[in-house]
């Protein structure tokens, strides 16, 4: 699964003092979702002055104490939490407890996944806490149309993660075998030492260029094959540094795939994985659209970071 992306509402954890009284509570944001078509928010409000209701029970046990803050056609998935648990000091302390931190991350993702099974959702970054519900409500109002458009974009889609690896040693060996049939290379024994040296340098350069070309074609070919089955792609081209086994990651991509195309997509990934000697392809999913939760036009960009 890819890292959680931040749903573009107000800055979380902004303005939280370094220490909080144990009884002070804020609002943990899991994500932004959309009301079902035709559903309208009730006229009543609670003590906060906001339209906030319990999350549907059929979303599962992960939603205990989770509520929906409804604004127009949108709903923020929130839960009240002690602010003292989310100060900079508290979050820093949690880094020293990897097991406990992992459990918190799993609980965060469980809520998002439960919503994602029934409704489109823009996942929030883990640990996004707001001191006041007003901050979330105001930000939702200000970006209502952009958030709604983004939810329309991810509706009915899942995120899949794909990684492509190439074994450079195998690719290089294949290129060297092809090079062995080059007449110029076969004439080295009958060539003067000086000329033979330059011919070998030329062959070495050609071998490196051919290896790089094959590796580039593997990553680009896999990308083009899979991107054609996706509604959107966020791709990262890795640094290609070699591991101890000679493998280099040449492509990592998050793909937004409509659910009715999932079978075709998985079949294409498996075909990529079996397509050639010397490279392999792994995948995981389906996930909520963590990599596609950015808002069009935010900070002058209409794409999430790769």
What are 163-197's pLDDT values in tens digits?
Answer: 988 887 877 777 777 766 666 666 655 666 666 67
User: Please, which pLDDT band fits residue 220 given cuts at 50, 70 and 90?
Assistant: confident
Residue 50 to residues 33, 53, 68, 98, 288: CA-CA distances in angstroms? 17, 9, 10, 36, 27
Q: What band does 240 get if pLDDT is binned at 50, 70 and 90?
A: low
Place of tokens 């899949």: 160
Among 13-17, 73-77, 282-286, the range scoring the smallest mean pLDDT is 13-17
**Residue 9 in domain:** no
pLDDT of 18 above 60: no
Same domain, 38 and 121: yes
Regarding whether 150 and 179 lie in a shared domain, the answer is no
129 plus 100 within the same structural domain: yes
> pLDDT at position 2, please?
47
The domain of 119 spans 25-155
pLDDT of residue 69: 92
Would you report the helix, strand and coil content of the chain in percent, each value rounded to 5?
Answer: 45, 25, 35
What pLDDT does residue 47 have? 45
131 and 263 together in one domain: no
Say what the pLDDT of residue 53 is: 67
Number of H helices, E strands in the chain: 8, 10
Q: Please provide residue 281's backbone torsions phi and psi, each rounded to the nearest 5 degrees.
A: -135, 130
What is the reported pLDDT for 206?
76
Reading the block at residue 250, the tokens are: 């040449």
More confident of the two residues 257 and 20: 257
Do 126 and 227 fall into the same domain? no
For residues 94 and 149, state if they share a domain. yes
Q: Specify whether 204 is located in the same domain as 275.
A: yes
Domain assignment of residue 15, yes or no: no
Domain boundary among 155, 179, 202: 155
To the nearest whole number, what is the mean pLDDT of the chain?
A: 77
* Position 6 pLDDT exceeds 70: no
Sheet with 279-287: list strands edge to edge: 232-236, 247-258, 157-167, 279-287
- Tell whether 194 is covered by a domain: yes
Token pair recorded at residue 141: 């109002």
The angle that helices 144-154 and 133-142 make with each other, rounded to 10 degrees, is: 80
Count of the separate structural domains present in the chain: 2
The reply to whether 279 and 188 lie within a common domain is yes
For position 120, what pLDDT does the model report?
Answer: 94
Q: Is the predicted pLDDT of residue 245 greater than 70, yes or no?
A: no
∠ Cα 138 139 142 (to 5°)? 90
Predicted confidence band of residue 149 (pLDDT cuts 50, 70, 90): very high
| Residue ranges of E strands in the chain | 25-34, 52-54, 67-71, 74-82, 121-123, 129-130, 157-167, 232-236, 247-258, 279-287
What whole-number percentage of the chain has pLDDT above 70? 69
Three-state DSSP class for residue 115: helix
* Predicted local confidence at residue 5, as pLDDT: 40
> Chain-centre distance of CA 102, in angstroms?
18
Residues 290 and 174 in one domain: yes
Final residue in a domain of this structure, among 107, 137, 155: 155
Q: Is the pLDDT of residue 75 over 90?
A: yes
| Residue 203: inside a domain | yes
C-beta of residue 272 within 8 angstroms of C-beta of residue 246:
no
Question: Can you say whether the dihedral through the CA atoms of 112, 115, 119, 124 is positive or negative?
Answer: negative
Residues 195 and 136 in one domain: no
In the predicted model, what is the mean pLDDT of residues 83-91?
A: 84
In a domain, 11, yes or no: no
- Which of 184-193, 243-252, 291-300 is the most confident on average? 243-252
- Single out the residue in 133, 155, 177 at which a domain terminates: 155
176 & 286 share domain: yes
What pLDDT, on a 0 to 100 scale, did the predictor assign at position 61?
Answer: 57
**CA 78, CA 47: separation in Å to the nearest integer?**
16
CA distance 161 to 289: 10
Listed residue (137, 13, 17, 148) closest to 67, CA to CA: 137
Residue 31 lies inside a defined structural domain of this protein:
yes
Structural domain contains residue 102: yes
What is the pTM for the complete model shown? 0.75
Predicted local distance difference test score (pLDDT) of residue 112: 93
Report the C-alpha gap between 131 and 78 in whole angstroms. 12
Q: Is residue 1 part of a domain?
A: no
Q: Which three-class secondary structure state does DSSP give residue 97? A: coil
Q: The tokens 């303005």 sit on which residue?
A: 15
pLDDT in tens, 133-142: 999 998 899 9
d(CA 226, CA 28): 36
One domain, residues 289 and 167 = yes
């Amino acid at each position: 699964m890819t890292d959680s992306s931040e749903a573009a509402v107000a800055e979380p954890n902004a303005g939280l003092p370094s220490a909080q009284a144990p009884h002070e509570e804020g609002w943990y944001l899991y994500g932004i979702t959309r009301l079902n078509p035709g559903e309208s928010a009730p006229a009543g409000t609670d003590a906060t002055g906001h339209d906030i209701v319990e999350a549907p029970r059929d979303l599962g046990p992960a939603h205990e104490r989770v509520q929906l803050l409804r604004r127009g056609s949108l709903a923020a998935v929130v839960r009240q939490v002690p602010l003292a648990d989310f100060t900079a000091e508290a979050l820093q302390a949690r880094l020293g407890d990897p097991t406990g931190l992992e459990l918190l991350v799993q609980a965060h993702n469980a809520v998002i996944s439960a919503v994602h099974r029934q409704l489109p959702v823009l996942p929030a970054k883990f640990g996004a806490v707001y001191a006041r519900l007003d901050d979330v409500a105001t930000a939702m109002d200000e970006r209502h149309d952009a958030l709604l458009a983004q939810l329309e974009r991810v509706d009915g889609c899942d995120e899949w993660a794909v990684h492509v690896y190439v074994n450079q040693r195998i690719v290089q060996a294949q290129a060297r075998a092809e090079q062995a049939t080059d007449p110029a290379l076969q004439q080295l024994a009958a060539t003067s030492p000086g000329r033979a040296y330059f011919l070998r340098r030329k062959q070495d350069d050609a071998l490196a260029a051919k290896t790089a070309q094959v590796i580039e074609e593997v990553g680009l070919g896999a990308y083009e094959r899979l991107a054609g089955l996706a509604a959107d792609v966020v791709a990262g081209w890795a640094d290609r540094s070699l591991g101890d086994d000679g493998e280099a990651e040449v492509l990592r991509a998050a793909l937004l795939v409509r659910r009715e195309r999932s079978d075709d997509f998985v079949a294409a990934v498996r075909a990529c994985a079996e397509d050639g000697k010397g490279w392999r392809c792994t995948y995981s999913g389906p996930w909520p659209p963590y990599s596609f939760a950015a808002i069009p036009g935010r900070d002058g960009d209409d794409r999430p970071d790769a």
